[in-house]
Amino acid sequence: MTGVLTPQETVERTLAAAAHLTGCVVIVSETSEAVLRWANSTMTTNGHTTSSRITVIAVVDVPGGTAAGTVSSGEQITGPERLADLVAAARAQRARRRALAGRCAAARTGR
């Protein structure tokens, strides 16, 4: 695939890559900015920038609540393989939080 994925493609492909998870939230935000520079009532330069950010939140139920792992990236996504990497990173973050929640629960009960 060539070019950057649209926000809709990014969300759909990320959710497909996360189908094995208990829950997943995908947030894509896109911003656009035009810059104009004037001198002596004449436009001298202009520019346009577009940026996007994807956030993947992997969710799982744990004893006593819910654990979530969150990963964000501001890079341009040009292929689905990078989306699978973001899902894996969110899942790993969720696993670390799940383990931490288990240790905290054990500490509270004195185990």
Superfamily of domain 7-106: PmbA/TldD superfamily (3.30.2290.10)
Is 1 a residue whose pLDDT tops 50?
no
Q: What is the pLDDT of residue 25?
A: 92
Is 101 a residue whose pLDDT tops 70?
no
DSSP the chain: --SPPPHHHHHHHHHHHTTTSSEEEEEEEEEEEEEEEEETTEEEEEEEEEEEEEEEEEEEEETTEEEEEEEEE-SPP-SHHHHHHHHHHHHHHHHHHHHHHHHHHHHHHT-
For the chain, the domains span 7-106
- Whether pTM > 0.85 for this model: the answer is no
Please report which confidence band the pLDDT of residue 104 belongs to, taking 50, 70 and 90 as the band edges.
low
Q: What is the pLDDT of residue 108?
A: 63
Distances (CA, A) of 26 to 43, 55, 56, 72: 40, 6, 5, 10
Sequence length of the chain is 111
Torsion-angle region of 27 (φ positive above 0: left; ψ -120 to 50: alpha; else: beta): beta
Which position has the token pair 């993947």?
56
Name the residue type at position 73. Answer: S
Q: What is the pLDDT of residue 52?
A: 87
Q: What percent of the chain has pLDDT over 90?
A: 10
Q: Using one digit for the tens of pLDDT, what is the confidence trace for 22-50? A: 888 999 999 999 888 888 888 888 888 88
Q: Using one digit for the tens of pLDDT, what is the confidence trace for 50-83? A: 888 999 988 877 777 777 888 888 887 777 788 8
